[in-house]
Amino acid sequence: MTDDRDLEILVRIAYAVHGTVRRISRSPRRGEIVGIGASGSPTEELDRVAEAQVLSSLEAEGVDWDLLSEEAGHIKRGGDRILVLDPVDGSHNLLRGLPFATVSLALGARDLSGIEVGVVHDLNLGTTYWAQRGGGAFRDGLPIRPRSWEPRREMFFLNLGRHATPRSVAWAGKGRRTRSLGSASLEMTLVAEGVADAYFFENDDPTRNLRVTDIAAAYRILVEAGGRVTDADGRPIGGLPLGVEQRSSVFAFGDPAFDGAARKEGYL
């Protein structure tokens, strides 16, 4: 388990970002494109300001962690660990007034399996999910666990839309309920606390799949809660390196029994 100080720092940073996002969300400039991020995606003012707040908080906290962000890429600060950041996961939701967005912070080294601590803070409700390696998963201090799978009573979070694969769209017809919230970290943490059975994300173009910045914190939270995360074909993704170049499809689930059922029923 990591030092509790690391977790405390991440939670303070998350709250600092929340305050900054609340202020900028009232600005008419919040959706302006202000550049192209390290990942090749447009950077909006909202993301830039939130990322700047994280860098300022790291200086104030006196830690030397490197920073990996979708916008800035890898910023070396002399540390032997990397803070993997998505300053606003669900920025399109936030800009349109939809209440599904988070700040996602994960601390670790090398690859996804090397994430030691993860924090996902809901920018609408103000709730905070966190987990440390070997220490369980929590929402606002209370332990969370995935739900037990009940056939024909499933709820799935899915990636839908123009680029979703036929397999992803087919999932919508298999579960009793489906939702598509547009925030990977939020959807995965909701699986971790038993709101839904699984989260599935697969695009027709692999370069449109998810980066570690999208899922690093939620990965640790879901695993510590007792769930698992693979790619869409069931392969482990713990070896995904901490960088913005590689992407992966994602199948995140809570109950191992559902993994077997998904394969038997042809979900995967």
Closest CA to 111 of 207, 244, 243, 219: 243
Per-residue pLDDT of the chain (268 residues), as tens digits, is: 457 999 999 999 999 999 999 887 665 555 444 444 455 554 568 888 899 999 999 999 999 999 999 878 899 999 999 999 999 999 889 888 899 999 999 999 999 999 999 999 999 999 999 999 999 999 999 999 999 998 889 999 999 999 999 999 999 988 899 999 999 999 999 999 999 999 999 999 999 999 999 999 999 999 999 999 999 999 999 999 999 999 999 999 999 988 888 877 777 6
Q: Return d(Cα 152, Cα 175) in angstroms, integer.
A: 7
The identity of residue 64, as a single letter, is D
Domain ranges of the chain: 4-143, 155-264
- β-bridge mates for residue 178, sequence order: 156
Sign of CA dihedral 186, 205, 111, 113: positive
- β-bridge mates for residue 230, sequence order: 236, 251
Contacts of 40-45 spanning 24+ positions with Cβ under 8 A: 41/70, 43/71, 44/91, 44/95
Q: What's the confidence (pLDDT) of residue 251?
A: 97
Q: What's the confidence (pLDDT) of residue 126?
A: 96
Q: What's the confidence (pLDDT) of residue 261?
A: 80
For the domain made up of 155-264, give the CATH fold.
D-Maltodextrin-Binding Protein; domain 2 (3.40.190)
Q: Return d(Cα 220, Cα 184) in angstroms, integer.
A: 13
Closest CA to 159 of 147, 148, 171: 171
SS (H, E, C) 171-239: HCCCCCEEECCCCHHHHHHHHHCCCCCEEEECECCHHHCECHHHHHHHHHHHHHHCCEEECCCCCECCC
Domain 4-143 CATH superfamily: Fructose-1,6-Bisphosphatase, subunit A, domain 1 (3.30.540.10)
pLDDT digits 0-9 by tens, 255-266: 998 888 887 777
